[in-house]
Amino acid sequence: MSEAASNPSERPLDFVRQIVADDVAAGKNGGRVQTRFPPEPNGYLHIGHAKSICLNFGLAKEFGGKCNLRFDDTNPTTEETEYVESIQNDVRWLGFQWDGLFYASDYFEQLYLWAEKLIELGLAYVDSQSSEAISQQRGTPSIPGTNSPFRDRSVAENLDLFRRMKAGEFPDGTHVLRAKIDMASPNFLLRDPLLYRIKHAHHHRTGNKWCIYPMYDYAHGQSDSIEQVTHSICTLEFDAHRPLYDWCIEKLGIFPSRQYEFARLNLTYTVMSKRKLLELVQGKFVSGWDDPRMPTLCGLRRRGYTPEALRAFCAEIGVTKFNGLTDMVVLENSLRHDLNKRAERRMAVLRPIKVVIENYDPDLTEQLTAVNNPEDEGAGTREVPFSREIYIERDDFMENPPKGFFRLSPGREVRLRWAYFITCTGVVKDEAGNITEIRATYDPATRGGDAPDGRKVKATIHWVSANHSIPAEVRLYDHLCKIEDLSQVPENEDWKSYLNPASIDVVTAAQLEPSLSAFADGRPVQFERLGYFISDSRDSQPGSLIFNRSVTLKDAWAKAQKK
Ligand code: ATP
Ligand code: MG
């Protein structure tokens, strides 16, 4: 990472910020900047939404403007209050506060009146064909569409039918309101797009008041206009929708909001669509929206991601006009970078094996001093109990080590972090030949971790005192998906067959340094050599602690330590 890249404020403005800066400089809209973040409350927010949130709220902040949170709740069948609440919670958690809080459903009356206006202007008509007939008449990119037989209904007839649609006289699917634009337009979205459909459904806010609902393309731009949004920022797929967005605003003669499109975030080894995430939740492939493997904001939070790390990630990836696939490592690095500075270090042994230090006084417990965070002097030190019986990782011992293995093995001396040098003198095995215990001696002169005679050891391993450590469950995570780019899965295949069956590894009998009980409060912590962890906000209980691994330590670091 170059210096410039690591400090986004020194980078040139991205194209959206450049547009906004130019508009402000030109005095457009009186120099006013108004943005909005417009989620549909049909699921929980994911890391892709964080990119949009950081951009919309960021622009408002940087240009002295305002940003609204607007729920795009025009589809009654998929939307729920649970989602509305989680979205507000997640936006705040990410560190942003909206100026106005609005719902597209607040505008239903106004949107309806504007639809009548389009009818009166001869720019909209009620089509009474089936949806199949309508889609058959749409044509292809090379063949123009066919006009509906209802296209030339009179204004009076259209108004009458539309009012009766609203009054609930017709069942679902019998009529729609369409804009009258151009069935031969090269842009499909201008071939008389649907503006309203009949849906006898309960809406999470308006109840049963309405049985006709506006389509996204009709509601969105008009909602922007009502809120006097100056820069309506959305993702690239909406590029083709812009002419319709502009058409509605122009024909209605309302505040001219403008739409700009940027590339959506896609990350390797995960999925980024609410529909797919919902499939995972409903199919119980994960434990819920906040499963720590999910790319949702609540999942990332439970995993141990911090708002700071997510905002830094969004700044790092920037805003462009080209769709791409961002490496998950970039996200992970943003968390490592953040936690390295503020997470205290502790020792935890995930898969313990006992080491008995034969020449250590069985009645003695020493309190050894350990540094809490070498990156932050202010974090101070703590005392770690040391006694005759300790646990180390099974992996840190090999009876017959291959070349290149430098950790503990018979006859080999290693350093116990913050403690002493120990030398393995032998092992104890059960009847089946499994090693149940390691025997060792320690050198009292090496207390603190250095030998007065200057002799070196090739490895430092972590440990906990067997009589003082506390048991815990530790959950280790891997990628949600087995393949990098899920968009490559053909339509006729079930994308869920590419889920990683080893995405979670539950370690049930870990042993923690006693001071880790204080981290049940949700502070991030580094387990030395193992990664960054956080206590699980849902399942961890006093007396039965559960920690999630947020992210491993840097690969390079891990490799260097293991040698
Ligand atoms: P999904 O496909 O996951 O359901 P969506 O676009 O339908 O996403 P909305 O709730 O409509 O979800 O999105 C709210 C805002 O967040 C929109 O402006 C949308 O463009 C933006 N957004 C959604 N996904 C991403 C993403 N992956 N990267 C950047 N912005 C996104
Ligand atoms: Mg959507």
Give 10-residue mean pLDDT values along the chain (563 residues): 50 94 97 97 97 98 98 90 96 98 98 98 98 95 95 98 98 98 96 98 95 97 98 97 98 98 97 95 97 98 98 97 95 97 97 98 98 96 98 97 97 98 98 97 96 96 98 97 94 95 97 97 97 97 95 64 44
State which ligand 1 atom lies nearest to the alpha carbon of 233: 18
Can you tell me the distance from the alpha carbon of 17 to that of 519, in angstroms, rounded to the nearest whole number?
41
Distance in Å, CA 253 to ligand 1 centroid:
28
* DSSP-based three-state secondary structure for 465: strand
The residue whose CA is least distant from atom 14 of ligand 1 is 39
The residue whose CA is least distant from atom 22 of ligand 1 is 49
How far is CA 90 from its chain centroid? 10
pLDDT, residue 2, reads: 42
What residue has token string 């809120």?
Answer: 227
The residue whose CA is least distant from atom 13 of ligand 1 is 39
Which one of the listed residues 166, 274, 301, 388 is annotated catalytic? 274
The residue whose CA is least distant from atom 16 of ligand 1 is 49
The DSSP element (H or E) to which 461 belongs, if any, is: strand 460-461
What residue has token string 């049985």?
Answer: 211
Tokens describing residue 452: 């007065």
Q: What are phi and psi of 349, to 5 degrees?
A: -115, 115
Q: Which of 42, 46, 49, 322 to mutate to test the pocket of ligand 1 (most atoms within 8 A of CB)?
A: 49
Cβ–Cβ under 8 Å, residues 338 and 557: no
Enumerate residues 6+ apart whose C-beta is below 8 A from 244: 179, 181, 189, 190, 193, 217, 221
Which one of the listed residues 264, 276, 417, 562 is annotated catalytic? 264
Distance in Å, CA 51 to ligand 1 centroid:
9
Length of the chain: 563
State which ligand 1 atom lies nearest to the alpha carbon of 38: 14
Q: Which of 16, 52, 271, 326 to mutate to test the pocket of ligand 1 (most atoms within 8 A of CB)?
A: 52
Q: Give the domains, in start order, of the chain with CATH numbers.
A: 3-262 (3.40.50.620), 274-342+472-562 (2.40.240.10), 345-468 (2.40.240.10)
Distance in Å, CA 17 to ligand 2 centroid:
24
Distance in Å, CA 86 to ligand 2 centroid:
16
Can you tell me the distance from the alpha carbon of 114 to that of 288, in angstroms, rounded to the nearest whole number?
41
**Alpha helix positions (H), 417-479:** none
Can you tell me the distance from the alpha carbon of 391 to that of 466, in angstroms, rounded to the nearest whole number?
6
Residue 17 catalytic? Answer: no
Which one of the listed residues 40, 116, 157, 366 is annotated catalytic? 40
Tokens describing residue 393: 């990782």
Q: Average pLDDT over the chain, rounded to whole?
A: 95
For residue 40, the ligand closest to its alpha carbon is 1
Q: Which of 90, 103, 264 to mutate to test the pocket of ligand 1 (most atoms within 8 A of CB)?
A: 264
For residue 50, the ligand closest to its alpha carbon is 1
Distance in Å, CA 40 to ligand 2 centroid:
6
Please list all protein residues whose beta carbon sits less than 5 angstroms from ligand 2, which is an ion: 40
Q: List pLDDT tens digits, range 229-287.
A: 999 999 999 999 999 999 999 999 999 999 999 999 999 999 999 999 999 999 999 99
Distance in Å, CA 54 to ligand 2 centroid:
18
Can you tell me the distance from the alpha carbon of 278 to that of 151, in angstroms, rounded to the nearest whole number?
39
Residue 40 catalytic? Answer: yes
With a Cβ cut-off of 6 Å, ligand 1 is lined by 38-40, 48-49, 51-52, 72, 234-235, 264-265, 272-274
Residue 274 catalytic? Answer: yes
**How many Å from the N-terminal Cα to the C-terminal Cα in the chain?**
26
Distance in Å, CA 91 to ligand 1 centroid:
14
Q: Could you give the C-alpha distances from 328 to 267, 489, 529, in angstroms and in order?
A: 6, 19, 21
Distance in Å, CA 167 to ligand 1 centroid:
33
Q: What are phi and psi of 87, to 5 degrees?
A: -65, -45
The residue whose CA is least distant from atom 18 of ligand 1 is 234
For residue 75, the ligand closest to its alpha carbon is 2
